[in-house]
Amino acid sequence: MPDSFIAERLPRALILGSTSRYRRELLSRLQLPFETVSPEVDETPLPGETPYDLSLRLARAKAQAVAKLHPGALVIGSDQVPEIDGQPLSKPGTHERATEQLRLMSGRQMNFHTGVCVACAETGFLQADVVTVQVRLRTLDDAAIERYLRAEQPYDCAGSAKSEGLGIALLDALTSDDPTALVGLPLIRTCQMLRTAGVVLP
């Protein structure tokens, strides 16, 4: 059997183009070996770019940036952009900014757009999509906001809440056909893309 034929049958390396511990934990659920590589991508929104389009563009850019460095690998890129009143919300970084975000979100419905892209430079494979989760927060007074932030300190989370943790207590409802998207990586859509790329999953 030719060596080239054997090489084509061997599974490609899988890379998560992200250093997010949330995405790493989610991808680990698939029980596939993978490594993580930090994508060097400018995340500044373009003039007039919607949060939906921003999440899609950045997911593609991250996957393609890492795929360029590792052309034989299959690379997953992802980016999440929360939206309220048509405007994106960033990671708060501080207690004060998280307080401001939760005050703004209190009692309101908003969208979390999570873009995902799977790319392989060697084969030219590229698929990308956005999964949107609609979230409605219950009405929060300052005391509730303070209790939550002191307990979980979600300052590295866009939207200032961890739905996979205590943050679920802040919600009245969430609607999505791919619920892990809210945590940072839509696993149902990711699995579909990986299967299309030839990855064997259960």
**Model pLDDT, residue 162:** 93
Residue 2's pLDDT band, with cuts at 50, 70 and 90, is very low
Catalytic residue flag (residue 3):
no
Q: Dihedral, CA atoms, 4, 7, 9, 11, nearest 10 degrees?
A: -160
Residue 80: C-alpha distances to residues 147, 159, 194 (Å): 25, 10, 20
Q: pLDDT tens, 85-136?
A: 999 998 999 999 999 999 999 999 999 999 999 999 999 999 999 999 999 9
Q: Say if pTM beats, i.e. exceeds, 0.85.
A: yes
**Model pLDDT, residue 3:** 36
Residue 1: C-alpha distances to residues 4, 9, 12, 72, 172 (Å): 9, 12, 19, 22, 59
Out of 3, 42, 53, 79, the active site residue is 79
pLDDT tops 90 at residue 11: no
Tokens, residue 68: 């360029």
Instruction: Quote the mean pLDDT of the chain.
Output: 93
Residue 7's pLDDT band, with cuts at 50, 70 and 90, is very low
Q: What whole-number percentage of the chain has pLDDT above 90?
A: 93
**Model pLDDT, residue 99:** 98
Residue 33: CA atoms inside 13 Å, Cβ hemisphere, count?
4
Could you tell me if 79 and 66 are in contact, meaning their C-beta atoms sit under 8 angstroms apart? no
The third-level CATH classification (topology) of the domain covering 3-196 is Maf protein (3.90.950)
The residue type found at 168 is I
Helices (H) and strands (E) in the chain, counts: 6, 7
Mean pLDDT of 36-52: 95
Q: pLDDT tens, 152-185?
A: 999 999 899 999 999 999 999 999 999 999 999 9
Distance CA 25, CA 174 (A): 21
Sign of the four-CA dihedral 64, 66, 67, 73:
negative
Could you tell me if 185 and 27 are in contact, meaning their C-beta atoms sit under 8 angstroms apart? yes
